[in-house]
Structure 1
C-alpha cells in the first residue's frame, strides 16, 4: 500500500508471520503546501522508509494540508514525532514543541519522543550530489560552481547552517559553492548565479536544498535559469539518503529525545 497524501495513517505494516511489528508509531511532520506534488513527495519518502523497516507511519502537516499534528496523534499512547524539515528553525524549536505539549496536556498518557530535523546531516550532501549527477553534473567538478539553495528563514542560525554546509561542500573540489535563499535572506538564488557569472565561473549549476516540489522550487528554477544557470537539479525528495536519515532520526529519538521544554 502506498501513502495517500491526505490519509493520516497507513496503519501497521505486518511482518512476514502476519503479526504487527510492535514498533513505536512514527508521526512525520512536513511543512505542507497547496501544491499536491509536495504531499505526494512526502508520501514517497515515507514509503521509502517503510520499504526498509515495517512501521506504523502517520503524516501530519504544519500548514495548508490535513491532518494537523494534533489530529495525527489522536488514539496513540506513544509516538516518535519527527520534523521533515531540513534545518532547525522556528517550526522545530517553537511550533512543534508547543503542539506536542498541548497534546500531552489533553492526554497525560501520551508518551512523545521528539526527534531532530532531517538536517543538517552528512548524508544530505550525498543526496545533493545524487540529484546533480542525475542532471549530468559530476561530483566535485573543478569547472563547476554550485549555488546551494535553501528556502531561507528569518532565523539567522538556520541560514548560517546553510552557509556552513556550502563551505563544507566547497572542499570537495567544486570551483566554489555559494549559499542562497529563496526567501527571508540574501543573496537570492538568481543573485548568486549572476554573481558567479560575473566572477568568471566556467559553469554554474543549482542544487536545491528543498524537500519537495512546489512554490519555492518552481521559483528557484525559473529565476536561476533566467539568471544564467546551466543546470537546476531536482529537489531532494525521496532520495535513499533521506530515508536513511529519517530512520536514524527515528531510532535516535527513542534513545535520546529532543527536549520539549519551552
Structure 2
C-alpha cells in the first residue's frame, strides 16, 4: 500500500518504548500536538516495552493511516519490525522514514543545549544509543553534521553501544553533551553516568515544538 484511499486519515506515531513512564509520555504528547495541528485523529504506539504496541494498533486500524516513526535512525525496527506490523493491517497504511536525521531535530538539540547552559563555541559531543547497523551509523554521522551546522561549532560523535567510540573516549572536560534521544530513560541515565567530565549534559530532545513541526510535515507529505 503506497497511499491512503479516500476517507478520514489517522496518524499513528511509533516510538521504541521504554519502562520509563515519562519517556513514553513524550511520544503521546507529540502525537496529541500533531493531531491538533493536522486535524486528524492520532494515536501514539510503541515497538516494545509499552502499550499500545504498534503491531496491535495496525491490526486494529479502521481507516487510512499515516505512520510517522519517532525513531532517530535506520535499524532493525525500521527494516523489519515496522513493515511486518504494517502488513497485518486491513486498511491502507503509509509508513514513513525514521524521524532523524533532520535539521529540525538539530535545531531542537541546540535549544536543549542552550537551556542546559552551553555557550557558543563550546565543543559538543552528540551521544547516540548506537547500533551495529551501518545505515544507523551513517544517520548518526549525518546528525552530527546537522548539529555542527546548527550549533556553528565543533561536534563529535559518541555511542553507547554498537559501532563508534564510547563517551569516555570522546568527552573532554568542559564539553557539552547533546543526547541524541527523543525520550528520557535507560540511555539518558547512562549518558549522565558515562560523561562525568562534561560541563553540560543537555536534556533529551523531548516533545519540543520543532519535533511536532517535523511530525506534522512528515505526515502531511505522506498524505499528499
Give the TM-score taking structure 1 as reference length.
Answer: 0.77
> Residue 31 in 1 paired to residue 31 in 2?
no
Displacement after TM superposition at 1:158 (Å): 0.9
**Quick one: which of 161, 180, 200 aligns to 1:183?**
161
Cα deviation 1:214-261 (Å, max 9, x = unaligned): 00001101110x2x1010000001011100110011011123xxxxxx
Distance of 1:90 and 1:253 partners within structure 2: 22
**Quick one: which of 125, 150, 153 aligns to 2:131?**
153
**How many residues align structurally?**
216
1:232 to 1:72, Cα distance in 2 relative to 1, 3 A: same
Counterparts of residues 124-203 of structure 1 (less than 5 Å): 124-138=105-119, 141-142=120-121, 144-171=122-149, 172-174=151-153, 176-193=154-171, 196-197=172-173, 203=174
Structure 1: give runs of 5+ residues left out of the alignment. Answer: 1-21, 198-202, 256-262
Radius of gyration: which is bigger?
A: 1
**Could you say what the CA RMSD is over the residues aligned between the two structures, in angstroms?**
1.7
Q: Secondary structure at the match of 2:94?
A: strand
**Quick one: which of 186, 208, 211 aligns to 2:182?**
211
Q: Secondary structure at the match of 1:147?
A: strand
Structure 2: give runs of 5+ residues left out of the alignment. Answer: 1-6
Displacement after TM superposition at 1:30 (Å): 0.8
CA contact (8 A) 1:116 1:253 kept: no
The answer for the alignment partner of 2:51 in structure 1 is 66
Counterparts of residues 1-262 of structure 1 (less than 5 Å): 23-73=8-58, 74-101=60-87, 103-104=88-89, 107=90, 110-138=91-119, 141-142=120-121, 144-171=122-149, 172-174=151-153, 176-193=154-171, 196-197=172-173, 203-224=174-195, 226=196, 228-255=197-224
